[in-house]
Chains A and B, each alone.
Chain A
Amino acid sequence: MATQLFSLTDVWGGYDGRAVLREVSLHINSDDFIGIIGPNGGGKTTLMRLLLGEIKPMAGQIERNCPTIGYLPQAQQIDREFPITVLEVVLSGLLGQHGLWNRYGREQRNRAMECLSIAGIAHLYGRSIGELSGGQLQRALLCRAMVSDPALLILDEPNTYVDNKFEGELYELLRQLNQRMAIVMVSHDLGTITTYVKTIACVNGTLHYHPSNHITAEQLHGYGCPIQLITHGEVPHTVLQSHS
């Protein structure tokens, strides 16, 4: 049974009295996989900050019934010169559950190592993050986001630095994780998004929820989400689910 993790009703969000998002209503259920698209400045980041509780809504209601959230920020927000190892980065994802007073022992380390193996970078656990490539850092940050087995995983452009090989693995991993947790993913890559997500939300000043992963150029236009459809070969009229 899917339970409701988030319920946003007529939410306005912004900074210094200026609204970036208006009248946003959205429900997030425990089995959702929502792809968020929209132009820069359209409010995608503001929506994520509202979900993470970093900013309070200016108006409207956010009901949160979500004990834990894992979050993958954009890699350039991380200070790569900070003296911290890969294993410690992953362990930091347990701060919410494990708390301030408890030691981080073998059990926590094993969980972190398990995530690193899944992401294929277990051998890098003792490295400091300054020694990693952009893709490796992103994998480590993904491990931090999923190590606590959160009810909701929020991903901000997870495919920015990831090489083609890992991109396939990443989405396969997300598909598996989606059996246990809800996923909200911001992406510019509409082609990839429609292949893996279940539903789409267009964010441009407000939010248009599209309860399917099939979306046409006309619908996007209607939602006020002028997205460039990056495709190969002939430009299709409709973006379809991938065929297996």
Chain B
Amino acid sequence: MQIFHYQFIHNALFASVLLAVVVGFIGTYIVARRLVFLSGGITHASFGGIGLGWYLGISPILGAAIFAVLSALGFEAITRRRTLREDSAIGLLWALGMAMGVFFVFLTPGYAPNLMSYLFGNILTISHTDITLLLALVVAVGLFFALFYRPILFVAFDSRYAMSQRPTGAMLIDYVLKILVALSIVFSIRAVGIILLISLLTAPANIANLLTRRFLPMVAIAALTALLALLIGLALSYGLNVPSGAAVVLVLVVLYVLTRVAVGMHRVAKCRKQ
């Protein structure tokens, strides 16, 4: 148990717990609301911010946060005005973000050593700043859901109806959630990376959805699943010296298949009994 003496392991464990909470709430929200593709678009758009941040010499995560929030709000405006098909808009921004990221990284003089860590992430190298940002995000997400759980659920379920009952309130809830989704994406990049992030957000909620069809239980099960996958992924990453993001995603897929099989077998057994 030598490894628990290392500070970076403490950081990684604490970050895993925080990430699991974010994945529980935000993952369940984007899965239930069918925003997975949009979230993928925001994730990749944020790479443009990382590149620009690098080029300008400001914090890449700050650049990513600005890009992610702007693209999330931009999507919202585009869908409301129906100026462009929503999935086309997502596809365009997806590639634009990646292109800008690569463009600015190559413009920046010198070598960009951390590029891989943004694309694939590494929870073992997560810094104090990253953890502080994650902690602030967890507090914000937790507080928002605690205060507005029912309205959030109502707007997510049928935003048209919610808008017809309380137009301003429903719209505000929508916008705040889009911002929280964008920030959740950005603050998770360091741990799992841009390319693999979307599966961390979607797989746990889908595993949870195999076991329950209610929102709050889904949040709880998704968070626990994410924590389990992150811890196993962390162990694999440390033991085999592979990137943690890839390990976590593989663990999640295995967990999904196992849950699916277990639920199927349970159903068959139940039918036989009757």
Contact = CB atoms under 8 A, between A and B. Distances in A.
A84 to B, nearest CB: 5
B157 A89 contact: yes
Contacts, number: 76
A107 interface: no
B214 A84 contact: yes
Contacts of B170: 95
A48 B267 CA distance: 44
B46 interface: no
Interface of A: 52-54, 68-69, 71, 73, 77-79, 82-85, 88-89, 91-93, 95-96, 99-101, 104, 128, 130-131, 144, 148
B148 interface: yes
Contact of A100 (B148, B161, B167, B209): B148
Interface string B196-236: 00000000000001001111001000000000000000000
Contact of B213 (A68, A99, A130): A130
B164 A69 contact: yes
Nearest to B162: A95
Contact of B157 (A71, A84, A131, A148): A84
A53 B167 contact: yes
Interface string B77-100: 000000000000000000000000
14 contacts: A54-B160, A73-B158, A79-B34, A83-B28, A83-B32, A83-B212, A83-B215, A91-B150, A92-B150, A95-B151, A96-B165, A99-B166, A100-B173, A128-B214
Interface in B150-196: 150-151, 153-154, 156-158, 160-167, 169-170, 173
Interface residues of B, number: 30
A84 B161 contact: no
A63 B148 CA distance: 32
A121 B213 CA distance: 19
A101 B169 CA distance: 10
A79 B160 CA distance: 12
A82 B164 contact: no
Contacts of B169: 95, 99-100
A12 to B, nearest CB: 19
Interface string B10-50: 00000000000000000010001110000000000000000
A82 B161 contact: no
A74 B165 CA distance: 17
B184 to A, nearest CB: 19
- Lowest 10 CB-CB distances: which A-B pairs, in order? A96-B165, A128-B213, A92-B154, A95-B165, A83-B215, A52-B164, A100-B169, A100-B151, A84-B157, A83-B213
A99 B170 CA distance: 10
Contact of A96 (B150, B153, B166): B166
Nearest to B218: A83
Contacts of B166: 95-96, 99-100
B157 to A, nearest CB: 5
Given A79-B34, A83-B213, A84-B215, A144 B150 contact: no
